[in-house]
Amino acid sequence: MKVLEHPITWPLKRVLAGVLEPIPAGVKPGLFKRRIRLHITLSTNVCELISFAVPQGVRKYGELQQLAQAAAAQALDSAADIVVATDPFTPELVASLGVRFLEDLHAWAMGCGAVVASLQPLWTIASHCALARRPQIEGLALVEPDGVTLIACPAANCAVANGRSLSGMAISLEPGEEARASILRWMVSNGLKDDAVLSLKFALHGTGKAQGGMPRVWPEYWSRL
């Protein structure tokens, strides 16, 4: 696996063009001999996380999607140009993505002779790992190269924050005491104690060694914060 670094201000089309740059020019047209299924993971700056209150008794997928769409439209001040998906383990958590972004991604995949089989934000991979699924864990902090995701779900009442600054509070993207202290303050303000929080970091460069309990996707790129 090779991680390609680029400025976060680049538009999607430029980023996707960079994915193919290491491939010889003569190979790119009809890149794959047969259609390849792509499983794509997105950062928090691309796939924004929001939360909403699920009314008691609402469990059907269609109903949850309608509520999630309305919540995302309100939170992001948009309605027609976003798509949403609820987390299978915690339906109060919603991943949102711009329709234009999704269309460009599918068009790029088709141009390579591939198809987008799945999309998921990095925080879902983190929240579904063995360490995060322990009964005592009610909060997740994920530091990525381009942003931070914080999730606090005491008693199924979820609060979330993501981006580079959270409610006016800057979070360091480098592991250390400053980052841990800022994250803990946010978690405590949302009803959690330190031992109920799992803090992880996803790096651009793997260590070559996987730590126990970490996500199974790119395990050597994960570490404790």
The closest of 184, 220, 187, 216 to 203, measured between CA atoms, is: 220
Strand partners, 13: none
- The position carrying tokens 């914080």 is 150
Ramachandran bin of 113, using left for φ above 0, alpha for ψ from -120 to 50, beta for the remaining angles:
left
Report the alpha-carbon distance of residue 211 to residue 116 in Å, rounded. 29
- When pLDDT is averaged across residues 120-138 and rounded to a whole number, the result is 93
Q: Is 51 exposed, middle or buried (0-12, 13-18, 19+ CB in 10 A)?
A: buried
Q: What is the pLDDT of the chain when averaged over all its residues?
A: 81
Confidence of residue 14 (pLDDT cuts 50, 70, 90): confident
CB of 221 closer than 8 Å to CB of 125: no
pLDDT, tens only, 173-201: 565 677 788 888 889 999 999 999 999 99
pLDDT, tens only, 64-90: 999 998 888 888 776 568 888 888 888
CB of 158 closer than 8 Å to CB of 151: yes
Q: Is 82 helix (H, G, I), strand (E, B) or coil?
A: strand
pLDDT at 108: 86
Q: Is 10 helix (H, G, I), strand (E, B) or coil?
A: coil
- When pLDDT is averaged across residues 170-174 and rounded to a whole number, the result is 58
Over 60: is that where the pLDDT of 50 sits?
yes
Q: Work out whether strand 197-202 and strand 139-144 pair parallel, antiparallel, or are unpaired.
A: parallel
* Most confident by average pLDDT, 29-43, 127-141, 148-162: 127-141
Q: List b or e across 183-200, with b for residues whose CB sees 16 or more CB atoms inside 10 angstroms.
A: bbebbeebebeeebbbbb
How much of the chain exceeds pLDDT 90, in percent?
A: 20
Q: Work out whether strand 48-51 and strand 197-202 pair parallel, antiparallel, or are unpaired.
A: unpaired
Q: Which two tokens stand for residue 138?
A: 């009610």
Over 80: is that where the pLDDT of 34 sits?
no
CB of 121 closer than 8 Å to CB of 217: no
Higher pLDDT, 11 or 197: 197
Helices (H), the chain: 12-20, 61-76, 99-111, 122-127, 177-189
Over 70: is that where the pLDDT of 218 sits?
yes
* Global model pTM greater than 0.95: no
pLDDT at 37: 84
Ramachandran bin of 77, using left for φ above 0, alpha for ψ from -120 to 50, beta for the remaining angles:
left
- The position carrying tokens 């579904």 is 128
* Those residues with Cβ within 8 angstroms of residue 31's Cβ, 6 or more apart along the chain or in another chain: 20, 23, 112, 113, 114
- When pLDDT is averaged across residues 108-135 and rounded to a whole number, the result is 89
